Amino acid sequence: MNDIKTPAGIERESMRIIDAELSERGIVLPDDRAAIVKRVIHATADFAYAETLRFTPDAPVLCAEALRGGVLVTDTNMALAGISKPALKRLGASACCFMASEDVAQAARERNITRAAVSVEYALERCPVGAFAIGNAPTALLCLAERIERGARPAFVIGVPVGFVNVAESKRRIWEVCERFQIPAIVAMGRKGGSTVAAAICNALLYAVAGTP
């Protein structure tokens, strides 16, 4: 009992419960995806992600390896805050979010589009081979899909925005584009997602290479 009063003990017990409930539901996760899916379930208490998280071929390995010395771009400061800084440091990687940039805000006002879309353009100019973790804004995914069709080649894409307007559509669009241009992608199909999901996936990828804290 004392063990589950510590953060590490609570996480171990949570993962034990998740494993047991997956088994009860008859869900067997592929080995290369299990850690990612279970960390998302741990962050959300939602077992639907065992069915809705979609992976391009070899995405878990390719995404994790791309983080070595890489740059991870998020669409919210909330997702950025949730990503393990010690794991990033161990890999010589960094993470950033441009949503609060005044340049991004001004450009969005002038063009009458979302800051999320502008922040994608801003990020691609500064880190063209960075990885993108989109957990909130479907307009960011749509902009990224358009830029990929025009020649952008991010290291990988995590597409997990949440909501009702253009959310499912943006995920289908980024999935099709990433498949077509062979860009590793992890996408939560449907309406569910969020910054916590984006951070959970990023951390699962980081821990796969850097080890857990």
CB atoms within 10 A of CB 187: 25
Q: Give CA–CA dist 158/141, Å, rounded.
A: 9
- Return the amino acid letter for 173: R
- Residue 22 Cα to chain centre, angstroms: 22
Strands (E), 120-189: 131-134, 157-159, 185-188
User: Which residues are catalytically annotated?
Assistant: 42
Helix (H) or strand (E) holding 188: strand 185-188
Q: Give CA–CA dist 7/19, Å, rounded.
A: 18
Q: C-alpha angle with apex 123: 120 to 129, nearest 5 degrees?
A: 110
